[in-house]
Amino acid sequence: MKNILDQIFTARKEDVASDKRKVPLEELKSKISSAHPVRDVSRVLRQKIRTRIISEIKLRTPFKGVLREGVEAQEIARIYEEGGASTISVLTETRHFGGSVDIFSRVRSAVNIPLLRKDFIFSEYQVYEARAMEADWFLLIATWLDKNQMTDLAELGKELGMQALIETHNEADLEKAFHTGAPILGINNRDLTSGQTDLDISRRLIPMALQEEGKIVVCESGIHGRKEIEEFEAMGAHAFLIGESLMKAPDISAKLRELLNDNGANR
């Protein structure tokens, strides 16, 4: 029986095949030629003025169900930008996470900070699509992709001006991530095959990830407050991708200020 990650990628293969028929690759390339320049996400994530939060727009998950209803993605994006998020992650997978290319496009029109296309990317078409929708960086999941495939996709993104966020969950994933040479490594505390979250994943992998000089380390999933952020910053993490804690907060702006330890004086 397939685990949930396998099921999602199987569904994405069907969806991408359909997308190719609706929007041929040449049409995407034409859009890229007139797209705005890519924003430098590496520079943003290396800034040490304050905690770097990658705030995520995620409407639902296969693990937790609906996270938030009745709020437009553009409105949430503006709250994130005004609240001090360094960059915004937007889910574009539809069947399991309720995202879409249209949602991404609406967010892109609402804010000026870098946007991460977060999806289950396995094909060159999706990388071209990410740039055509004016993403500044994109996600590659090392748990599912092999190292050569991931390297090729990261290199294509680089040719188009984008960085790849190589997401890892264990030592084998890190080895594959190092093979790509990509500078931004994500450490996902959530096991995407089961939905289980364990912060000890970051405690174990952050020191390993930092053994390669120049890497930017992003801590993902299971971050709910300043205590975890301060612990992982002390270990060397550069940024934190946070979705559920923000999307479920009664006051998103207040929750973001709490995570940033920001009373307004640090702007």
pLDDT tens digit string along 250-259? 999 999 999 9
Return mean pLDDT, the chain. Answer: 94
- pLDDT band per the 50, 70, 90 thresholds, residue 266: very low
Mean pLDDT for 83-96 is 96
Is 56 assigned a catalytic role? yes
Output the six-digit token pair for 247.
């999307």
| Least confident interval from 2-6, 114-118, 204-208, 231-235 | 2-6
Give the rounded percent of residues in the chain with a pLDDT score beyond 70: 98
The single residue of 134, 167, 228, 244 carrying the catalytic annotation is: 167
| Least confident interval from 63-72, 92-101, 207-216, 254-263 | 63-72
The single residue of 81, 93, 129, 220 carrying the catalytic annotation is: 220
How high is the pLDDT of residue 33?
94
- pLDDT band per the 50, 70, 90 thresholds, residue 70: confident
Is 75 assigned a catalytic role? no
Is 213 assigned a catalytic role? no
How high is the pLDDT of residue 265?
39
The single residue of 56, 134, 228, 244 carrying the catalytic annotation is: 56
The single residue of 93, 221, 244, 255 carrying the catalytic annotation is: 221
Give the rounded percent of residues in the chain with a pLDDT score beyond 90: 88
pLDDT of residue 136 exceeding 70: yes
> Is the pTM value of this prediction over 0.85?
yes
User: 174: Cβ–Cβ under 8 A, 6 or more apart, which residues?
Assistant: 142, 168, 185, 205, 208, 209
Query: Are 14 and 7 a contacting pair, CB within 8 Å?
Result: no
Tell me the Cα Rg of the chain. 17
The single residue of 55, 89, 188, 245 carrying the catalytic annotation is: 188
User: 149: Cβ–Cβ under 8 A, 6 or more apart, which residues?
Assistant: 122
Query: Are 59 and 98 a contacting pair, CB within 8 Å?
Result: yes
- pLDDT band per the 50, 70, 90 thresholds, residue 62: confident
- Helical spans, DSSP H, in 40-146: 41-46, 73-83, 101-110, 124-132
Mean pLDDT for 112-119 is 98
Burial of 234 (0-12, 13-18, 19+ CB in 10 A): exposed
Mean pLDDT for 76-81 is 97
Q: CA geometry: angle at 150 spanning 97 and 38, to 5°?
A: 70
Is 175 assigned a catalytic role? no
* Residues comprising the chain, all counted: 267
Domain 4-34+41-260 carries which CATH code?
Answer: 3.20.20.70
pLDDT of residue 1 exceeding 90: no
Helix (H) or strand (E) holding 5: helix 4-22
Mean pLDDT for 172-180 is 96
Q: Please state, in angstroms and rounded to a whole number, the distance separating the CA atoms of residues 168 and 176.
A: 9
Query: Going along 2-145, which residue ranges are E strands?
Result: 52-57, 60-61, 65-66, 87-91, 115-118, 137-141
Report pLDDT digits (tens) over 187-243: 999 998 888 999 999 999 999 999 999 999 999 999 999 999 999 999 999 999 999
Q: What is the DSSP-derived secondary structure letter of residue 177? A: H
Residue type present at position 254: A
Is 221 assigned a catalytic role? yes
How high is the pLDDT of residue 11?
95
The single residue of 55, 93, 118, 176 carrying the catalytic annotation is: 118
174-194 as b/e, with b when 16 or more CB fall inside 10 Å?
bebbbbbebbbbbbbbbbbee
How high is the pLDDT of residue 263?
58
Is 58 assigned a catalytic role? yes
